[in-house]
């Protein structure tokens, strides 16, 4: 948008609102809730404001794009507002650090919003997700089609009036369970077939998947070199061990060289967010375990932080330390595990992965001892953690972080870092400049391997991370090798944090603050909390209606959004490299598909 048009369309501008002096008329109001402040943006000025924020105010990372359907919202703050949807943007600055700029764009039913992809290419997958789950169309989006559900899916599931199969009630607990709750098998009540509908005019039998997807369809089809060869379309996955789950890479290839690659996902989609709206606030906790099932502890932590923002609960000192210890242990698990799998993808089948598992077993034993489960820990609560550490746990953890883990990390380093094959396969492969990665909303080890020292633990410290002395390792190369090596360096920093945390943890004390209990009614409003999960920025966006169930529950999952970069990173490399490039993004399909 040019400056002239911006000035021309500037009727009554409230100059007391932020950014209105730079982009007149862009911000039309504030939600001055008790929780986090939000700015309401005029849809036609959105792109101008985003451009201004990116270029002038250094908000270079469009972290999260999501949507809220307010049609059933009883909140007073919304009284008199007729628009049904709010598209919510969270912008962060990797240069300045600190909190977000939160923008709301109000959209009536059946209207479009300008797509942010021209300013932030990273909005690509997230806008597709909003389109898929809410049915909001983004004008100017290059590839606006369903992403998590398939084309034959009827309706947009996160709309408040959409009911799932086996729908019972709007909110748990369901009335049929007590005191007269005779067991009935769901599948008997609603036989499959009666609740399966297709969009109007849709015939599942005659449908064939089109290969017209952007960018695969836009890549050149033939005419390479001297011979008039033809490029071919190949599906890598969904059932292929290199895709780490059910995930498909649709590629157009010339020989073995990738011309275009498009990630296809949603095979594991279970509408986590809709389930989350049915659940009570606390019930969501064990569900978060199942997102990134390798790091249930950090998933728990992010969700607990988001809800604590709304509930205003103090977390006791000892619980703060326990949380940090668990989060860092889980980071070591994830990083050693992902190193093992990068090597798996490189062809070093199982040996590095097995060595990584050895240490992981020890950490999982520790998790199991305190929480009762190895993977689905369900350990954090609003206001702390559920149970105290067991006697002797700290001693064993100390042995682990002082002796065993440093030794194991050194061993991995020695085993792999100097290896000529790892170097040959990793150096210079999957290169993408740091600027592009940020623009694609990539976060976590991926951007630190491109030389950007951005880590939420330092940029916007949560819990008690500001008390520990640790560095943010960075590497400049931004290739597979750097992405492998950065994880090793980060695991070492985690060991450093763990050593300090285990030294400073109060010997006794409460581990659960607040009133406890199982019913929470947070104040009306919204909150976004993010943690530096091992895979990147894990954010939880929750909207409360002052009820026992969340009104909206959104997970900004790093695995999903980091996939924005998969296509651009793979183009020009061989198909065998694409497998490693995917492995080095480090995705978990439980979190990608949600």
> Which positions lie near another protein, rule CB under 8 A?
172-174, 176-183, 185, 187, 279-280, 282-287, 351, 354-355, 358, 361-362, 365, 368-373, 376, 378, 386-387, 390, 396, 399-400, 404, 411, 414-423, 517-518
Between residues 313 and 362, which has the closer beta carbon with respect to another protein?
Answer: 362
CB of 119 to another protein, least distance (A): 39
Between residues 256 and 414, which has the closer beta carbon with respect to another protein?
Answer: 414
Residue 14's alpha-carbon distances to 18, 24, 81, in angstroms, are 9, 9, 19
Residue 232, H or E segment: strand 232-236
CB of 332 to another protein, least distance (A): 14
CB of 390 to another protein, least distance (A): 8
Between residues 185 and 208, which has the closer beta carbon with respect to another protein?
Answer: 185
Between residues 14 and 361, which has the closer beta carbon with respect to another protein?
Answer: 361
Between residues 173 and 476, which has the closer beta carbon with respect to another protein?
Answer: 173
**Using CA atoms, how far apart are residues 467 and 471, in angstroms rounded to an integer?**
13
Between residues 407 and 435, which has the closer beta carbon with respect to another protein?
Answer: 407
14 backbone dihedrals φ, ψ, rounded to 5°? -85, 105
CB of 280 to another protein, least distance (A): 8
Burial of 397 (0-12, 13-18, 19+ CB in 10 A): buried
CB of 369 to another protein, least distance (A): 4
178-192 in b/e form (b: 16+ CB < 10 A) is eeeeeeeeeeeeeee
Question: Using H for helix, E for strand and C for coil, what is the string for 488-517?
Answer: HHHHHHHHHHHHHHHHHCCCCCCCECCCCC
CB of 408 to another protein, least distance (A): 11
Burial of 467 (0-12, 13-18, 19+ CB in 10 A): middle
Triad 341, 489, 538: Cα angle to 5°: 70
Contact between residue 67 and residue 539 where contact means Cβ atoms under 8 Å apart: no
Between residues 9 and 283, which has the closer beta carbon with respect to another protein?
Answer: 283
CB of 414 to another protein, least distance (A): 6
The position carrying tokens 């305190």 is 370
167 backbone dihedrals φ, ψ, rounded to 5°? -60, 130
For 557, other C-beta atoms within 10 Å of its C-beta total 28
Between residues 184 and 212, which has the closer beta carbon with respect to another protein?
Answer: 184
CB of 352 to another protein, least distance (A): 9
Structure tokens belonging to residue 451? 């030389």
């Amino acid at each position: 948008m040019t400056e002239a048009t911006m000035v021309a369309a500037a009727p009554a501008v409230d100059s007391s609102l932020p950014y209105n002096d730079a982009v007149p008329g862009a911000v039309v109001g504030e939600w001055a809730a008790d929780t986090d402040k939000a700015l309401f943006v005029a849809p036609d000025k959105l792109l101008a404001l985003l451009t201004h924020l990116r270029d002038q105010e250094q908000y270079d990372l469009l972290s999260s794009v999501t949507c809220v359907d307010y049609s059933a919202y009883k909140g007073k703050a919304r009284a008199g507002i007729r628009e049904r949807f709010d598209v919510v943007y969270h912008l962060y600055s990797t240069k300045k650090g600190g909190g977000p700029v939160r923008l709301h764009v109000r959209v009536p039913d059946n209207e479009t919003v300008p797509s942010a992809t021209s300013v932030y290419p990273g909005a690509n997958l997230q806008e597709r997700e909003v389109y898929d789950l809410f049915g909001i169309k983004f004008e100017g989006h290059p590839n606006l089609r369903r992403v998590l559900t398939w084309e034959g899916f009827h309706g947009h599931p996160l709309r408040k009036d959409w009911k799932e199969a086996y729908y019972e009630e709007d909110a748990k607990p369901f009335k049929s369970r007590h005191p007269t709750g005779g067991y009935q098998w769901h599948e008997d009540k609603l036989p499959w077939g009666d609740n399966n509908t297709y969009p109007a005019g849709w015939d599942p039998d005659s449908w064939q998947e089109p290969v017209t997807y952007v960018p695969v369809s836009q890549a050149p089809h033939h005419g390479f070199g001297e011979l008039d060869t033809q490029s071919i379309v190949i599906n890598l996955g969904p059932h292929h061990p290199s895709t780490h789950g059910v995930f498909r890479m649709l590629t157009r290839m010339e020989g073995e060289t990738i011309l275009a690659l498009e990630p296809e996902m949603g095979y594991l989609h279970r509408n986590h967010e809709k389930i989350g709206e049915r659940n009570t606030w606390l019930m969501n906790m064990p569900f978060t375990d199942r997102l990134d099932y390798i790091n249930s502890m950090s998933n728990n932590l992010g969700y607990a932080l988001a809800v604590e923002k709304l509930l205003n609960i103090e977390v006791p000192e000892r619980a703060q330390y326990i949380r940090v210890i668990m989060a860092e242990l889980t980071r070591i698990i994830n990083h050693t595990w992902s190193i093992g799998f990068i090597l798996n993808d490189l062809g070093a089948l199982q040996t590095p992965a097995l060595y990584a598992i050895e240490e992981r077993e020890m950490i999982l034993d520790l998790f199991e001892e305190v929480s009762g489960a190895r993977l689905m820990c369900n350990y954090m609560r609003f206001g702390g953690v559920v149970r105290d550490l067991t006697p002797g746990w700290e001693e064993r953890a100390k042995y682990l972080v002082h002796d065993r883990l440093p030794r194991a990390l050194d061993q991995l380093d020695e085993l792999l870092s100097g290896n000529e094959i790892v170097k040959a396969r990793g150096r210079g492969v999957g290169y993408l400049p740091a600027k592009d990665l940020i623009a694609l909303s990539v976060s976590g080890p991926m951007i630190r391997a491109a030389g950007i020292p951005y880590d939420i633990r330092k940029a916007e410290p949560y819990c008690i991370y500001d008390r520990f002395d640790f560095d943010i390792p960075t590497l400049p190369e931004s290739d597979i090798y750097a992405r492998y090596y950065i994880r090793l360096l980060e695991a070492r920093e985690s060991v450093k944090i763990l050593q300090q945390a285990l030294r400073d943890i109060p010997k006794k004390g409460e581990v659960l603050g607040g009133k406890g209990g199982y019913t929470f009614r947070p104040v009306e409003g919204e909150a976004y909390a993010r943690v530096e999960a091992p895979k990147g920025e894990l954010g939880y966006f929750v909207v409360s209606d002052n009820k026992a169930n969340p009104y909206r529950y959104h997970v900004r999952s790093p695995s999903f959004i980091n996939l924005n970069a998969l296509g651009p990173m793979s183009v020009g490399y061989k198909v065998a490299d694409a497998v490693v490039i995917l492995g080095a993004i480090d995705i978990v399909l439980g979190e990608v598909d949600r």
